[in-house]
Chain A
Amino acid sequence: MRTHERTSVLVMLAICACILLIGLTPLRQFVRNAFHDTAYRLDPTAERAFAYGELHFNALDRYAYDIDRAEFYLSEAALRDPTMQYVQHELARISFLRGDFSLALAKINFQIDMHGDSTPNSYYIRGLIEGFIGKYADSARDYERYLEFDPYNWAALNDYAWVLLKDDRPDEALAAAERGLAAFPDNVWLLNSRAIALYEIGYGAEALVDLKTAQKNLKSVTTEDWLRAYPGNDPRIAAAGLRSFKAAVDANIHMMETGAALDTLQ
Protein backbone atom coordinates (compact mmCIF):
# COMPACT_ATOMS: atom_id res chain seq x y z
CA MET A 1 0.00 0.00 0.00
CA ARG A 2 2.77 2.45 0.94
CA THR A 3 4.64 1.70 -2.23
CA HIS A 4 1.39 2.23 -4.01
CA GLU A 5 0.92 5.67 -2.49
CA ARG A 6 4.47 6.75 -3.20
CA THR A 7 4.11 5.73 -6.80
CA SER A 8 0.86 7.57 -7.19
CA VAL A 9 2.22 10.77 -5.66
CA LEU A 10 5.31 10.68 -7.87
CA VAL A 11 3.16 10.19 -10.95
CA MET A 12 0.99 13.18 -10.03
CA LEU A 13 3.97 15.40 -9.37
CA ALA A 14 5.52 14.48 -12.69
CA ILE A 15 2.30 15.32 -14.53
CA CYS A 16 1.97 18.66 -12.74
CA ALA A 17 5.60 19.57 -13.38
CA CYS A 18 5.08 18.94 -17.09
CA ILE A 19 2.00 21.12 -17.11
CA LEU A 20 3.82 23.90 -15.34
CA LEU A 21 6.88 23.76 -17.52
CA ILE A 22 5.29 23.25 -20.91
CA GLY A 23 1.88 24.85 -20.55
CA LEU A 24 0.84 27.81 -18.42
CA THR A 25 3.42 30.45 -19.39
CA PRO A 26 1.77 33.22 -17.37
CA LEU A 27 1.95 30.97 -14.36
CA ARG A 28 5.63 30.37 -15.02
CA GLN A 29 6.19 34.12 -15.24
CA PHE A 30 4.26 34.68 -12.06
CA VAL A 31 6.48 32.20 -10.28
CA ARG A 32 9.58 33.75 -11.81
CA ASN A 33 8.52 37.22 -10.70
CA ALA A 34 8.02 36.00 -7.18
CA PHE A 35 11.44 34.37 -7.25
CA HIS A 36 13.07 37.56 -8.53
CA ASP A 37 11.38 39.71 -5.91
CA THR A 38 12.63 37.41 -3.19
CA ALA A 39 16.10 37.17 -4.65
CA TYR A 40 16.35 40.94 -4.88
CA ARG A 41 15.25 41.43 -1.30
CA LEU A 42 17.96 39.01 -0.22
CA ASP A 43 20.61 40.49 -2.50
CA PRO A 44 19.66 44.05 -3.51
CA THR A 45 22.46 45.03 -5.90
CA ALA A 46 22.36 47.49 -8.78
CA GLU A 47 23.39 44.79 -11.26
CA ARG A 48 20.60 42.47 -10.20
CA ALA A 49 18.04 45.28 -10.31
CA PHE A 50 19.20 46.33 -13.78
CA ALA A 51 19.04 42.75 -15.07
CA TYR A 52 15.48 42.31 -13.77
CA GLY A 53 14.47 45.67 -15.18
CA GLU A 54 15.77 44.73 -18.61
CA LEU A 55 13.97 41.40 -18.43
CA HIS A 56 10.64 43.19 -18.08
CA PHE A 57 11.44 45.77 -20.76
CA ASN A 58 11.74 43.22 -23.55
CA ALA A 59 9.18 43.73 -26.29
CA LEU A 60 9.80 40.28 -27.71
CA ASP A 61 8.74 38.45 -24.53
CA ARG A 62 5.00 38.83 -24.20
CA TYR A 63 4.74 37.38 -20.71
CA ALA A 64 7.80 38.98 -19.21
CA TYR A 65 7.00 42.49 -20.49
CA ASP A 66 5.82 44.64 -17.62
CA ILE A 67 6.66 48.31 -17.75
CA ASP A 68 5.80 48.91 -14.10
CA ARG A 69 8.19 46.20 -12.91
CA ALA A 70 10.80 47.40 -15.41
CA GLU A 71 10.55 50.92 -14.07
CA PHE A 72 10.68 49.75 -10.47
CA TYR A 73 13.82 47.69 -10.93
CA LEU A 74 15.56 50.20 -13.15
CA SER A 75 14.82 52.93 -10.62
CA GLU A 76 16.28 50.70 -7.93
CA ALA A 77 19.39 50.23 -10.06
CA ALA A 78 19.66 54.00 -10.57
CA LEU A 79 19.33 54.62 -6.84
CA ARG A 80 22.11 52.18 -6.05
CA ASP A 81 24.39 53.17 -8.92
CA PRO A 82 23.35 56.25 -10.91
CA THR A 83 26.48 55.94 -13.06
CA MET A 84 25.56 52.51 -14.43
CA GLN A 85 26.03 52.75 -18.16
CA TYR A 86 22.49 52.47 -19.54
CA VAL A 87 20.29 52.91 -16.52
CA GLN A 88 19.34 56.55 -17.17
CA HIS A 89 18.93 55.76 -20.85
CA GLU A 90 16.38 53.07 -20.03
CA LEU A 91 14.54 55.25 -17.54
CA ALA A 92 14.38 57.97 -20.19
CA ARG A 93 12.83 55.48 -22.61
CA ILE A 94 10.23 54.49 -20.05
CA SER A 95 9.33 58.12 -19.34
CA PHE A 96 9.11 58.69 -23.08
CA LEU A 97 6.80 55.72 -23.57
CA ARG A 98 4.64 56.96 -20.73
CA GLY A 99 4.38 60.34 -22.44
CA ASP A 100 6.32 62.30 -19.80
CA PHE A 101 8.60 63.97 -22.31
CA SER A 102 10.03 66.59 -19.97
CA LEU A 103 11.22 63.94 -17.55
CA ALA A 104 12.45 61.80 -20.43
CA LEU A 105 14.50 64.70 -21.77
CA ALA A 106 15.99 65.41 -18.35
CA LYS A 107 17.02 61.78 -17.93
CA ILE A 108 18.52 61.40 -21.37
CA ASN A 109 20.45 64.66 -20.93
CA PHE A 110 21.81 63.22 -17.70
CA GLN A 111 22.72 60.02 -19.54
CA ILE A 112 24.56 61.89 -22.30
CA ASP A 113 26.32 64.17 -19.84
CA MET A 114 27.65 61.11 -18.03
CA HIS A 115 28.41 58.73 -20.85
CA GLY A 116 28.55 60.77 -24.06
CA ASP A 117 29.74 58.88 -27.11
CA SER A 118 30.04 55.56 -25.29
CA THR A 119 26.26 55.17 -25.64
CA PRO A 120 25.62 56.68 -29.07
CA ASN A 121 22.02 55.55 -29.28
CA SER A 122 21.31 57.94 -26.41
CA TYR A 123 21.62 60.70 -29.03
CA TYR A 124 18.98 58.84 -31.01
CA ILE A 125 16.65 58.71 -28.02
CA ARG A 126 17.13 62.39 -27.35
CA GLY A 127 16.36 63.13 -30.99
CA LEU A 128 13.18 61.11 -30.67
CA ILE A 129 12.09 62.91 -27.51
CA GLU A 130 12.88 66.33 -28.96
CA GLY A 131 10.88 65.42 -32.05
CA PHE A 132 7.86 64.51 -29.94
CA ILE A 133 8.20 67.78 -28.03
CA GLY A 134 8.46 69.79 -31.26
CA LYS A 135 12.11 70.85 -31.01
CA TYR A 136 12.81 69.80 -34.56
CA ALA A 137 16.09 71.61 -35.14
CA ASP A 138 17.57 70.18 -31.94
CA SER A 139 16.23 66.78 -32.88
CA ALA A 140 17.86 66.96 -36.31
CA ARG A 141 21.22 67.72 -34.70
CA ASP A 142 20.95 64.69 -32.43
CA TYR A 143 19.98 62.42 -35.30
CA GLU A 144 22.94 63.72 -37.27
CA ARG A 145 25.16 62.93 -34.32
CA TYR A 146 23.81 59.39 -34.08
CA LEU A 147 24.14 58.88 -37.83
CA GLU A 148 27.85 59.62 -37.54
CA PHE A 149 28.10 56.31 -35.66
CA ASP A 150 25.50 54.41 -37.66
CA PRO A 151 25.09 56.08 -41.06
CA TYR A 152 22.89 53.40 -42.66
CA ASN A 153 20.33 52.88 -39.92
CA TRP A 154 16.91 52.99 -41.55
CA ALA A 155 15.03 54.11 -38.45
CA ALA A 156 17.46 56.93 -37.74
CA LEU A 157 17.31 58.09 -41.35
CA ASN A 158 13.51 57.85 -41.32
CA ASP A 159 13.23 59.85 -38.13
CA TYR A 160 15.81 62.35 -39.37
CA ALA A 161 13.65 62.84 -42.45
CA TRP A 162 10.63 63.33 -40.14
CA VAL A 163 12.15 66.20 -38.19
CA LEU A 164 13.64 67.77 -41.32
CA LEU A 165 10.16 67.80 -42.85
CA LYS A 166 8.80 69.43 -39.71
CA ASP A 167 11.66 71.93 -39.75
CA ASP A 168 10.65 72.92 -43.29
CA ARG A 169 13.69 71.29 -44.94
CA PRO A 170 12.05 68.91 -47.43
CA ASP A 171 15.09 68.71 -49.72
CA GLU A 172 17.24 67.43 -46.90
CA ALA A 173 14.45 65.11 -45.77
CA LEU A 174 14.34 63.62 -49.25
CA ALA A 175 18.10 63.07 -49.19
CA ALA A 176 17.88 61.32 -45.82
CA ALA A 177 15.04 59.05 -46.91
CA GLU A 178 16.85 58.16 -50.12
CA ARG A 179 19.99 57.31 -48.23
CA GLY A 180 17.99 54.84 -46.16
CA LEU A 181 16.18 53.39 -49.16
CA ALA A 182 19.51 52.72 -50.86
CA ALA A 183 20.10 50.07 -48.18
CA PHE A 184 16.47 49.13 -47.44
CA PRO A 185 14.55 49.68 -50.71
CA ASP A 186 11.34 48.03 -49.45
CA ASN A 187 11.18 49.71 -46.07
CA VAL A 188 7.66 51.02 -45.57
CA TRP A 189 8.60 53.76 -43.11
CA LEU A 190 11.18 55.20 -45.49
CA LEU A 191 8.84 54.91 -48.47
CA ASN A 192 6.22 56.88 -46.55
CA SER A 193 8.74 59.55 -45.55
CA ARG A 194 10.17 59.86 -49.03
CA ALA A 195 6.68 60.15 -50.47
CA ILE A 196 5.88 63.05 -48.17
CA ALA A 197 9.19 64.78 -48.96
CA LEU A 198 8.59 64.35 -52.68
CA TYR A 199 5.10 65.75 -52.32
CA GLU A 200 6.31 68.77 -50.35
CA ILE A 201 8.84 69.56 -53.09
CA GLY A 202 6.25 69.20 -55.83
CA TYR A 203 6.61 65.67 -57.15
CA GLY A 204 3.12 64.41 -56.38
CA ALA A 205 3.05 61.62 -58.95
CA GLU A 206 6.31 60.11 -57.71
CA ALA A 207 5.09 60.46 -54.14
CA LEU A 208 1.98 58.45 -54.89
CA VAL A 209 4.07 55.65 -56.41
CA ASP A 210 6.08 55.41 -53.19
CA LEU A 211 2.93 55.30 -51.08
CA LYS A 212 1.36 52.56 -53.17
CA THR A 213 4.55 50.54 -52.81
CA ALA A 214 4.48 51.10 -49.05
CA GLN A 215 0.84 50.02 -48.92
CA LYS A 216 1.67 46.82 -50.77
CA ASN A 217 4.74 46.09 -48.65
CA LEU A 218 2.81 46.67 -45.43
CA LYS A 219 0.89 43.47 -46.08
CA SER A 220 4.12 41.59 -45.38
CA VAL A 221 4.99 43.48 -42.19
CA THR A 222 4.28 41.40 -39.09
CA THR A 223 3.70 42.37 -35.48
CA GLU A 224 7.17 41.08 -34.73
CA ASP A 225 8.57 43.50 -37.33
CA TRP A 226 6.60 46.26 -35.65
CA LEU A 227 8.04 45.35 -32.27
CA ARG A 228 11.56 45.43 -33.68
CA ALA A 229 10.82 48.88 -35.08
CA TYR A 230 9.43 50.00 -31.71
CA PRO A 231 11.38 48.13 -29.03
CA GLY A 232 10.29 48.75 -25.49
CA ASN A 233 6.62 48.60 -26.41
CA ASP A 234 4.14 46.12 -24.99
CA PRO A 235 3.78 43.12 -27.32
CA ARG A 236 0.04 43.21 -26.71
CA ILE A 237 -0.32 46.51 -28.60
CA ALA A 238 1.71 45.48 -31.64
CA ALA A 239 -1.33 44.57 -33.69
CA ALA A 240 -2.93 47.93 -32.93
CA GLY A 241 0.32 49.73 -33.77
CA LEU A 242 0.54 48.01 -37.12
CA ARG A 243 -3.07 48.85 -37.90
CA SER A 244 -2.40 52.46 -37.04
CA PHE A 245 0.56 52.61 -39.42
CA LYS A 246 -1.47 51.05 -42.23
CA ALA A 247 -4.21 53.57 -41.60
CA ALA A 248 -1.71 56.44 -41.85
CA VAL A 249 -0.42 55.23 -45.23
CA ASP A 250 -3.96 54.68 -46.48
CA ALA A 251 -4.91 58.17 -45.33
CA ASN A 252 -1.91 59.67 -47.13
CA ILE A 253 -2.87 57.90 -50.35
CA HIS A 254 -6.43 59.09 -50.01
CA MET A 255 -5.32 62.67 -49.42
CA MET A 256 -3.07 62.67 -52.46
CA GLU A 257 -5.58 60.98 -54.76
CA THR A 258 -8.43 63.26 -53.80
CA GLY A 259 -6.25 66.36 -53.77
CA ALA A 260 -7.09 66.98 -50.14
CA ALA A 261 -3.42 67.39 -49.24
CA LEU A 262 -2.56 71.09 -49.12
CA ASP A 263 -0.82 72.21 -52.27
CA THR A 264 2.50 73.62 -51.12
CA LEU A 265 3.03 75.25 -54.48
CA GLN A 266 0.10 77.61 -53.98
Chain B
Amino acid sequence: MTHFNSLWRDVRGKLALLAVLIIALALISGMQSGRIGFESSELAFTDASSSGLQIVPASCPSSPHYAGECTSIIIVNTCPTGQHKNVSQTCVCDSTNLAPVNGSCAPLSTLCPAPTYYCGTGANANNLYYRTYSSAPACTPQSSLYANCFYGCDAGTATCRDADGTPAAEITVSPSLVRSGDTTTVSWTSVGVGACTVTATNSDTWTERNGTQTSREITTATTYTLTCTRPSGSPIVDNATVNIIPVFNEN
Protein backbone atom coordinates (compact mmCIF):
# COMPACT_ATOMS: atom_id res chain seq x y z
CA MET B 1 0.00 0.00 0.00
CA THR B 2 2.80 2.31 0.90
CA HIS B 3 4.44 1.45 -2.42
CA PHE B 4 1.21 2.19 -4.34
CA ASN B 5 0.70 5.50 -2.53
CA SER B 6 4.20 6.46 -3.35
CA LEU B 7 3.70 5.54 -7.00
CA TRP B 8 0.45 7.47 -7.16
CA ARG B 9 2.03 10.56 -5.71
CA ASP B 10 4.68 10.39 -8.39
CA VAL B 11 2.40 9.99 -11.37
CA ARG B 12 -0.74 11.94 -10.59
CA GLY B 13 0.63 15.31 -11.64
CA LYS B 14 1.98 14.01 -14.91
CA LEU B 15 -1.14 11.97 -15.58
CA ALA B 16 -3.33 15.01 -15.06
CA LEU B 17 -1.23 16.98 -17.52
CA LEU B 18 -1.45 14.25 -20.13
CA ALA B 19 -5.19 13.92 -19.66
CA VAL B 20 -5.65 17.64 -20.29
CA LEU B 21 -3.50 17.43 -23.40
CA ILE B 22 -5.45 14.48 -24.80
CA ILE B 23 -8.79 16.15 -24.15
CA ALA B 24 -7.60 19.35 -25.82
CA LEU B 25 -6.39 17.50 -28.92
CA ALA B 26 -9.62 15.52 -29.10
CA LEU B 27 -11.65 18.73 -28.96
CA ILE B 28 -9.55 20.33 -31.68
CA SER B 29 -9.80 17.31 -33.96
CA GLY B 30 -13.50 17.07 -33.29
CA MET B 31 -14.02 20.68 -34.26
CA GLN B 32 -11.98 20.22 -37.41
CA SER B 33 -13.86 17.13 -38.58
CA GLY B 34 -17.17 18.92 -38.15
CA ARG B 35 -20.56 17.54 -37.17
CA ILE B 36 -22.40 18.11 -40.41
CA GLY B 37 -21.38 16.16 -43.51
CA PHE B 38 -20.77 17.67 -46.93
CA GLU B 39 -24.10 17.66 -48.78
CA SER B 40 -23.32 16.90 -52.39
CA SER B 41 -25.40 17.50 -55.50
CA GLU B 42 -26.32 13.80 -55.46
CA LEU B 43 -27.78 13.75 -51.96
CA ALA B 44 -31.46 14.10 -52.74
CA PHE B 45 -31.34 14.35 -56.51
CA THR B 46 -34.22 12.90 -58.47
CA ASP B 47 -35.35 13.74 -61.99
CA ALA B 48 -39.03 13.81 -62.92
CA SER B 49 -40.22 11.67 -65.79
CA SER B 50 -42.86 13.00 -68.17
CA SER B 51 -45.47 11.49 -65.85
CA GLY B 52 -43.99 13.21 -62.81
CA LEU B 53 -42.44 10.07 -61.35
CA GLN B 54 -39.05 10.35 -59.67
CA ILE B 55 -36.11 8.77 -61.45
CA VAL B 56 -33.08 8.14 -59.24
CA PRO B 57 -29.65 7.90 -60.87
CA ALA B 58 -26.62 6.36 -59.17
CA SER B 59 -22.88 6.82 -59.69
CA CYS B 60 -21.26 3.53 -58.77
CA PRO B 61 -18.41 3.15 -61.28
CA SER B 62 -17.18 6.73 -61.02
CA SER B 63 -14.14 6.19 -58.82
CA PRO B 64 -10.73 5.35 -60.33
CA HIS B 65 -10.53 2.63 -57.67
CA TYR B 66 -13.73 1.02 -58.88
CA ALA B 67 -13.24 -2.71 -58.52
CA GLY B 68 -16.34 -4.08 -60.19
CA GLU B 69 -18.78 -3.77 -57.30
CA CYS B 70 -21.66 -2.97 -59.61
CA THR B 71 -20.76 -5.20 -62.51
CA SER B 72 -22.07 -8.70 -62.89
CA ILE B 73 -19.88 -11.52 -64.02
CA ILE B 74 -22.70 -14.03 -63.78
CA ILE B 75 -24.03 -13.53 -67.27
CA VAL B 76 -21.60 -14.71 -69.89
CA ASN B 77 -22.18 -12.92 -73.15
CA THR B 78 -22.02 -15.64 -75.76
CA CYS B 79 -23.81 -13.52 -78.35
CA PRO B 80 -22.16 -12.44 -81.60
CA THR B 81 -20.24 -9.20 -81.70
CA GLY B 82 -22.58 -6.26 -81.45
CA GLN B 83 -25.18 -8.17 -79.44
CA HIS B 84 -25.82 -9.01 -75.79
CA LYS B 85 -28.26 -11.11 -73.79
CA ASN B 86 -31.50 -9.59 -72.57
CA VAL B 87 -33.55 -10.63 -69.54
CA SER B 88 -34.87 -13.60 -71.49
CA GLN B 89 -31.29 -14.64 -72.23
CA THR B 90 -31.77 -14.09 -75.96
CA CYS B 91 -29.29 -12.14 -78.03
CA VAL B 92 -30.35 -8.62 -79.00
CA CYS B 93 -28.48 -5.81 -80.74
CA ASP B 94 -26.37 -3.47 -78.58
CA SER B 95 -26.95 -0.30 -80.50
CA THR B 96 -30.36 1.28 -80.49
CA ASN B 97 -29.82 2.09 -84.15
CA LEU B 98 -29.78 -1.56 -85.11
CA ALA B 99 -32.43 -4.23 -85.15
CA PRO B 100 -32.07 -8.01 -85.49
CA VAL B 101 -32.54 -9.11 -89.09
CA ASN B 102 -31.93 -12.76 -89.98
CA GLY B 103 -29.60 -13.34 -87.02
CA SER B 104 -27.46 -10.24 -87.45
CA CYS B 105 -27.92 -6.56 -86.72
CA ALA B 106 -28.98 -4.24 -89.51
CA PRO B 107 -29.33 -0.45 -89.51
CA LEU B 108 -32.85 0.54 -88.74
CA SER B 109 -32.76 2.99 -91.64
CA THR B 110 -32.82 0.04 -94.04
CA LEU B 111 -36.01 -1.28 -92.54
CA CYS B 112 -38.24 1.76 -93.15
CA PRO B 113 -39.17 3.37 -96.48
CA ALA B 114 -36.91 6.14 -97.78
CA PRO B 115 -38.05 9.76 -97.36
CA THR B 116 -40.18 11.03 -100.26
CA TYR B 117 -41.75 14.18 -101.67
CA TYR B 118 -45.38 14.39 -102.72
CA CYS B 119 -47.98 16.97 -103.70
CA GLY B 120 -50.98 17.65 -101.54
CA THR B 121 -54.57 17.08 -102.63
CA GLY B 122 -57.73 19.13 -102.70
CA ALA B 123 -57.20 22.55 -101.14
CA ASN B 124 -53.52 21.67 -100.58
CA ALA B 125 -52.87 20.62 -104.18
CA ASN B 126 -50.34 23.43 -104.68
CA ASN B 127 -48.27 22.36 -101.67
CA LEU B 128 -45.19 20.19 -101.83
CA TYR B 129 -44.72 17.94 -98.77
CA TYR B 130 -41.76 15.93 -97.41
CA ARG B 131 -42.46 12.59 -95.73
CA THR B 132 -39.97 10.85 -93.38
CA TYR B 133 -40.32 7.82 -91.10
CA SER B 134 -39.52 7.22 -87.45
CA SER B 135 -37.18 4.43 -86.39
CA ALA B 136 -38.02 0.83 -87.16
CA PRO B 137 -39.97 -1.19 -86.34
CA ALA B 138 -42.65 1.52 -85.93
CA CYS B 139 -41.71 3.39 -89.16
CA THR B 140 -44.35 5.98 -88.33
CA PRO B 141 -44.69 8.41 -91.26
CA GLN B 142 -44.18 12.08 -90.47
CA SER B 143 -44.96 14.76 -93.03
CA SER B 144 -43.95 18.39 -93.14
CA LEU B 145 -44.67 21.18 -95.60
CA TYR B 146 -41.68 21.64 -97.88
CA ALA B 147 -42.88 24.46 -100.19
CA ASN B 148 -45.93 26.41 -101.30
CA CYS B 149 -45.74 26.13 -105.09
CA PHE B 150 -46.73 29.45 -106.60
CA TYR B 151 -47.33 27.93 -110.01
CA GLY B 152 -48.68 24.61 -108.76
CA CYS B 153 -47.26 21.25 -107.74
CA ASP B 154 -46.43 18.59 -110.36
CA ALA B 155 -47.67 15.33 -108.84
CA GLY B 156 -45.78 13.22 -111.36
CA THR B 157 -42.33 14.53 -110.45
CA ALA B 158 -43.23 15.80 -106.95
CA THR B 159 -41.75 19.21 -107.73
CA CYS B 160 -43.04 22.77 -107.86
CA ARG B 161 -43.74 24.24 -111.28
CA ASP B 162 -42.48 27.67 -112.30
CA ALA B 163 -44.16 29.82 -114.91
CA ASP B 164 -42.95 27.41 -117.58
CA GLY B 165 -43.89 24.32 -115.60
CA THR B 166 -40.49 23.23 -114.16
CA PRO B 167 -38.31 24.16 -111.15
CA ALA B 168 -36.17 27.23 -111.92
CA ALA B 169 -33.20 29.21 -110.68
CA GLU B 170 -31.71 32.35 -112.21
CA ILE B 171 -28.83 34.69 -111.36
CA THR B 172 -27.92 38.08 -112.79
CA VAL B 173 -25.24 40.71 -112.21
CA SER B 174 -25.83 44.41 -112.74
CA PRO B 175 -23.88 46.05 -114.14
CA SER B 176 -22.17 43.28 -116.05
CA LEU B 177 -19.30 45.59 -117.06
CA VAL B 178 -17.44 47.56 -114.36
CA ARG B 179 -14.22 49.46 -113.86
CA SER B 180 -11.53 47.62 -111.94
CA GLY B 181 -12.16 48.12 -108.20
CA ASP B 182 -15.89 48.79 -108.53
CA THR B 183 -18.60 46.47 -107.26
CA THR B 184 -21.67 44.95 -108.92
CA THR B 185 -25.08 43.88 -107.64
CA VAL B 186 -25.71 40.15 -107.68
CA SER B 187 -29.37 39.06 -107.74
CA TRP B 188 -30.85 35.59 -107.88
CA THR B 189 -34.26 33.94 -107.65
CA SER B 190 -35.43 30.36 -107.42
CA VAL B 191 -38.75 28.52 -107.30
CA GLY B 192 -39.63 24.96 -106.40
CA VAL B 193 -36.17 24.08 -105.13
CA GLY B 194 -34.50 23.25 -101.86
CA ALA B 195 -31.27 24.89 -100.71
CA CYS B 196 -29.36 27.28 -102.94
CA THR B 197 -25.76 28.46 -102.86
CA VAL B 198 -24.10 31.30 -104.73
CA THR B 199 -20.36 30.96 -105.24
CA ALA B 200 -17.93 33.05 -107.24
CA THR B 201 -14.42 32.95 -108.54
CA ASN B 202 -13.56 35.83 -106.19
CA SER B 203 -14.73 33.84 -103.10
CA ASP B 204 -18.03 35.67 -102.67
CA THR B 205 -20.58 33.19 -101.31
CA TRP B 206 -24.18 33.32 -100.11
CA THR B 207 -26.71 30.65 -99.16
CA GLU B 208 -30.24 32.08 -99.54
CA ARG B 209 -32.76 30.77 -102.07
CA ASN B 210 -33.49 34.31 -103.24
CA GLY B 211 -31.37 37.35 -102.65
CA THR B 212 -29.63 40.53 -103.71
CA GLN B 213 -26.07 41.22 -102.55
CA THR B 214 -23.26 43.62 -103.34
CA SER B 215 -20.13 41.93 -104.57
CA ARG B 216 -16.56 42.45 -103.40
CA GLU B 217 -14.45 44.85 -105.46
CA ILE B 218 -14.16 43.39 -108.93
CA THR B 219 -10.59 43.37 -110.22
CA THR B 220 -10.87 40.68 -112.86
CA ALA B 221 -13.62 38.92 -114.81
CA THR B 222 -15.70 37.16 -112.18
CA THR B 223 -18.33 34.45 -112.65
CA TYR B 224 -21.15 34.01 -110.14
CA THR B 225 -22.70 30.53 -110.03
CA LEU B 226 -26.12 29.78 -108.54
CA THR B 227 -26.61 26.12 -107.58
CA CYS B 228 -29.94 24.95 -106.23
CA THR B 229 -31.16 21.50 -105.38
CA ARG B 230 -34.34 20.05 -106.88
CA PRO B 231 -36.52 17.96 -104.56
CA SER B 232 -35.25 14.90 -106.38
CA GLY B 233 -31.72 15.86 -105.38
CA SER B 234 -30.37 16.82 -108.80
CA PRO B 235 -28.91 20.35 -109.16
CA ILE B 236 -30.09 23.38 -111.15
CA VAL B 237 -27.20 25.66 -112.11
CA ASP B 238 -27.13 29.15 -113.58
CA ASN B 239 -24.19 31.54 -114.14
CA ALA B 240 -23.61 35.26 -114.57
CA THR B 241 -20.31 36.97 -115.34
CA VAL B 242 -19.16 40.50 -114.64
CA ASN B 243 -16.30 41.82 -116.79
CA ILE B 244 -13.79 44.65 -116.41
CA ILE B 245 -14.00 47.63 -118.75
CA PRO B 246 -10.70 47.51 -120.70
CA VAL B 247 -8.31 50.42 -120.28
CA PHE B 248 -6.52 51.62 -123.36
CA ASN B 249 -3.18 53.38 -123.01
CA GLU B 250 -2.40 55.71 -125.82
CA ASN B 251 1.24 55.78 -126.73
The answer on a CB contact under 8 Å between B64 and A90 is yes
Contacts of A252 in B (CB 8 A): 53-54
Identify the closest chain B residue to A260 (Cβ).
B52
Whether A234 contacts B84 in the complex (CB less than 8 A), given A4-B6, A153-B61, A196-B51, comes out as no
A221 to B153, CA, bound (A): 66
Contacts of A39 in B (CB 8 A): none
The answer on a CB contact under 8 Å between B28 and A30 is yes
Identify the closest chain A residue to B38 (Cβ).
A234
A199 to B54, CA, bound (A): 12
The answer on a CB contact under 8 Å between B15 and A12 is yes
Residue from B14, B37, B55, B74 whose CB has the most chain A CB atoms within 10 Å: B55
Nearest CB of A to B67, in Å: 10
The answer on a CB contact under 8 Å between B56 and A248 is yes
The answer on a CB contact under 8 Å between A231 and B33 is no
Asked whether any CB of chain B lies closer than 8 Å to the CB of A21, the reply is no
The answer on a CB contact under 8 Å between B47 and A235 is no
The answer on a CB contact under 8 Å between A233 and B84 is no
Contacts of A146 in B (CB 8 A): 61
Q: For chain B, what secondary structure do more than half of its interface residues adopt (helix, strand, loop), or is it mixed?
A: loop
The answer on a CB contact under 8 Å between B10 and A26 is no
Asked whether any CB of chain A lies closer than 8 Å to the CB of B50, the reply is yes
Contacts of A16 in B (CB 8 A): 18, 22
Asked whether any CB of chain B lies closer than 8 Å to the CB of A52, the reply is no
The answer on a CB contact under 8 Å between B55 and A26 is no
A179 to B29, CA, bound (A): 47
Nearest CB of A to B90, in Å: 11
The answer on a CB contact under 8 Å between B54 and A248 is yes
Chain A 209-233 near chain B by CB (<8 Å), digits 1 or 0: 0000000000000000000111111
Contacts of A41 in B (CB 8 A): none
The answer on a CB contact under 8 Å between A152 and B49 is no
Asked whether any CB of chain A lies closer than 8 Å to the CB of B150, the reply is no
Residues of A whose CB lies within 8 Å of any CB of B are 4-5, 7-9, 11-12, 16, 19-20, 24, 26-27, 29-31, 33, 54, 63, 66-67, 85-86, 89-90, 93, 96-99, 101, 119, 121, 124-125, 128, 131-132, 144, 146-148, 150-156, 158-159, 161-162, 165-166, 168-169, 172, 175, 178-179, 181-184, 189, 192-193, 195-196, 199-200, 228-237, 240-241, 244-245, 248-249, 251-252, 255-256, 260-264
Can you identify 5 A-B contacts, CB atoms within 8 angstroms? A26-B30, A172-B96, A228-B69, A233-B38, A236-B37
